[in-house]
């Protein structure tokens, strides 16, 4: 079998798909996207197309080496996302060729359903009490919010207190049986987050995510030592070498993104590497249904999967729903998604719908840009 084509489909600045086709008629799909950088990722994928056409698609690790290492330069979000989508498509293709789900190719399933979490709504996901109440009624057992921003280098007592009070209110709403997590989103300084964690500790957050920006990974041990709150990070780390620093620093939860961190091939290795540090994985997924299905294939294959992020919108008329022939396989029941049993990724793409949704003209930014009161740049 040989690869005969690699096609890209940019739907918007947060949604892009790739299709890898073969001379045997079987094809695979992936989601090679970095939010805000769809067209840049597309160019990287099209360059990699030249390395793939004519190759045997079943030799995934060999092709992964060529894509991830063959250009001499390596690592980072653009290469990582481009290779990730192609790697997903190769795994999808292989699973479809063999008639098995990807987790079967990774050793079989370790669980029957996967716990998923939702965001708590509100402006910039700061947590809306009504939405949080509704999510608990719907059966979610973990809900995540974020401290509103922009944040100062050191928060004023008012800003710090307002967020802690809000978290306490949500904690009362959900009760002790439901987990509440916080995504600091790299908005805080090292000293600022250590002070915040001290205030939050009695309220027992499930975890605090990205307490530091990725360039400060070497300092995350200081944060871990300062608190009993489990620390999560990893959505802006792209390979197992970058994860080594944070795993050795004592984080509790690693959050590789299988659409950014070199695909299923590398994220399976990161999960295995995490297990030897007693670290669980919670794959990062603010993207579309192909990316979510990829995360779930990993979750079903690795023992140390803790919870799955999900922002896929399956409401009637949404892009995410329209591009799938079988959106029902991603339905959340009692806060869980059932094991995906179909071949490959387990989600089937409606190719006509994808082609009809391809973006025309300039793309809107995929994420907001923030500025502080004095006009200086602020972390989103
Ligand atoms: Mg995050």
The CATH number for 183's domain is: 3.20.20.120
**Has residue 366 got a pLDDT over 90?**
no
Residue found under tokens 């928060």? 155
Indicate whether 114 belongs to any domain: yes
Indicate whether 353 belongs to any domain: no
Q: What is the CATH number of the domain that holds 68?
A: 3.30.390.10
**Has residue 290 got a pLDDT over 90?**
yes
pLDDT at 121: 86
Residue that finishes a domain, picked among 55, 82, 100: 100
| Distance of CA 254 from the midpoint of ligand 1 (Å) | 11
- Pair 94, 162 in one domain: no
Residue that finishes a domain, picked among 100, 131, 150: 100
pLDDT at 337: 98
pLDDT digits (tens, 9 = 90+) for 315-347: 999 999 999 999 999 999 999 999 999 999 999
| Distance of CA 183 from the midpoint of ligand 1 (Å) | 5
* For residues 23-37, average pLDDT: 97
- Pair 193, 52 in one domain: no
Contact 246, 217 (CB under 8 A): yes
Q: In the structure, what pLDDT confidence band is assigned to residue 268 with cuts at 50, 70 and 90? A: very high
Residue that finishes a domain, picked among 314, 329, 344: 344
Please tell me the total count of domains within the chain: 2
* For residues 84-88, average pLDDT: 98
- Pair 310, 187 in one domain: yes
Indicate whether 356 belongs to any domain: no
Indicate whether 322 belongs to any domain: yes
Q: In the structure, what pLDDT confidence band is assigned to residue 124 with cuts at 50, 70 and 90? A: low
pLDDT at 127: 84
Domain that holds residue 222: 104-344
* For residues 125-154, average pLDDT: 92
Contact 101, 341 (CB under 8 A): yes
Indicate whether 376 belongs to any domain: no
- Pair 49, 113 in one domain: no
Indicate whether 380 belongs to any domain: no
- Pair 181, 264 in one domain: yes
Q: Encode burial over 15-49: b for 16+ CB neighbours within 10 A, e otherwise.
A: bbbbbbbbeeebbbbbbbbbbbbbeebbebbeebb
pLDDT digits (tens, 9 = 90+) for 45-74: 999 999 999 999 999 999 999 999 999 999
| Distance of CA 319 from the midpoint of ligand 1 (Å) | 22
pLDDT at 244: 97
- Pair 311, 171 in one domain: yes
Beta bridge partners of 116: 308
Task: For residues 43 and 49, give the distance between their C-alpha atoms in angstroms, rounded to a whole number.
Answer: 10
- Pair 57, 195 in one domain: no
Q: In the structure, what pLDDT confidence band is assigned to residue 163 with cuts at 50, 70 and 90? A: very high
CA angle 136, 137, 138 (to 5 degrees): 90
**Has residue 122 got a pLDDT over 80?**
no
Alpha helix stretches (DSSP H) within the chain: 38-52, 60-69, 77-98, 102-105, 129-138, 157-174, 190-200, 220-225, 240-248, 263-275, 289-301, 319-322, 351-356
- Pair 285, 312 in one domain: yes
- Pair 248, 307 in one domain: yes
Task: For residues 100 and 17, give the distance between their C-alpha atoms in angstroms, rounded to a whole number.
Answer: 22
Task: For residues 43 and 217, give the distance between their C-alpha atoms in angstroms, rounded to a whole number.
Answer: 30
Task: For residues 264 and 38, give the distance between their C-alpha atoms in angstroms, rounded to a whole number.
Answer: 20
Closest-CA residue to 120 (of 58, 182, 76): 182
Q: In the structure, what pLDDT confidence band is assigned to residue 224 with cuts at 50, 70 and 90? A: very high
- Pair 95, 109 in one domain: no
- Pair 74, 110 in one domain: no
| Distance of CA 235 from the midpoint of ligand 1 (Å) | 6
| Distance of CA 348 from the midpoint of ligand 1 (Å) | 27
**Has residue 310 got a pLDDT over 70?**
yes
For residue 143, the number of C-alpha atoms closer than 13 Å in the C-beta half-sphere is 30
**Has residue 249 got a pLDDT over 70?**
yes
Indicate whether 145 belongs to any domain: yes
pLDDT at 286: 95
Residues sharing a CB contact under 8 Å with residue 27, sequence separation 6 or more, in sequence order:
19, 20, 21, 93, 96
Beta-strand relationship, 231-233 and 208-209: parallel
Residue 345: alpha-carbon gap to chain centroid: 16
Q: Model-level pTM?
A: 0.97
**Burial class of residue 93 (count of CB atoms within 10 Å of its CB; 0-12, 13-18, 19+):** buried
Residues identified as active-site: 185, 284
Indicate whether 83 belongs to any domain: yes
Look up residue 103 and give its two tokens.
């987790």
pLDDT at 123: 72
Task: For residues 125 and 175, give the distance between their C-alpha atoms in angstroms, rounded to a whole number.
Answer: 20
Q: Encode burial over 66-76: b for 16+ CB neighbours within 10 A, e otherwise.
A: bbbeeeeebee
* pLDDT, mean over the chain: 96
* For residues 140-159, average pLDDT: 93
Q: How many residues does the chain have?
A: 380
Q: In the structure, what pLDDT confidence band is assigned to residue 361 with cuts at 50, 70 and 90? A: confident
Higher pLDDT, 124 or 67: 67
- Pair 70, 129 in one domain: no
């Amino acid at each position: 079998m040989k690869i005969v084509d690699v096609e890209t489909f940019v739907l918007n600045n947060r949604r892009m798909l790739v299709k890898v086709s073969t001379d045997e008629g079987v094809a695979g799909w992936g989601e090679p996207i970095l939010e805000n950088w769809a067209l840049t990722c597309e160019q990287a994928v099209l360059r990699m197309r030249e390395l793939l056409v004519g190759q045997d698609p079943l030799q995934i690790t060999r092709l992964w080496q060529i894509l991830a290492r063959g250009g001499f330069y390596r690592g980072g979000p653009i290469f990582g996302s481009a290779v990730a989508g192609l790697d997903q498509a190769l795994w999808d293709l292989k699973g479809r060729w063999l008639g098995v789900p990807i987790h079967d190719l990774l050793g079989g399933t370790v669980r029957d359903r996967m716990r998923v979490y939702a965001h708590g709504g509100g402006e910039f996901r700061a947590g809306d009490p009504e939405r949080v109440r509704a999510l608990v009624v719907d059966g979610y057992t973990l809900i995540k919010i974020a401290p509103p921003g922009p944040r100062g280098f050191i928060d004023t007592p008012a800003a710090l207190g307002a967020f802690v009070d809000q978290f306490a209110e949500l904690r009362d709403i959900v009760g002790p049986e439901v987990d509440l997590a916080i995504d600091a989103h790299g908005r805080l300084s090292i000293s600022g987050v250590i002070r915040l964690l001290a205030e939050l500790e009695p309220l027992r957050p499930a975890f605090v995510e990205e307490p530091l920006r990725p360039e400060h990974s070497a300092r995350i041990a200081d944060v871990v030592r300062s608190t009993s709150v489990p620390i999560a990070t990893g959505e802006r780390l792209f390979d197992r070498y970058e994860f080594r620093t944070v795993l050795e620093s004592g984080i509790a939860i690693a959050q590789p993104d299988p659409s950014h961190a070199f695909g299923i091939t590398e994220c399976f290795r990161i999960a295995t590497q995490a297990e030897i540090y007693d670290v669980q994985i919670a794959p990062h997924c603010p993207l579309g249904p192909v990316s979510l299905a990829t995360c779930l294939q990993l979750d079903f294959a690795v023992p140390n999967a803790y919870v799955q992020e999900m922002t896929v919108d399956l409401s009637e008329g949404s892009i995410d729903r329209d591009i799938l022939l079988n959106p029902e396989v991603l339905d959340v029941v009692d806060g869980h998604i059932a094991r995906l049993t179909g071949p490959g990724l387990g989600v089937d793409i409606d190719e006509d719908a994808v082609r009809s949704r391809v973006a025309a003209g300039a793309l809107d930014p995929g994420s907001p840009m923030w500025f502080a009161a004095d006009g200086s740049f602020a972390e989103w």
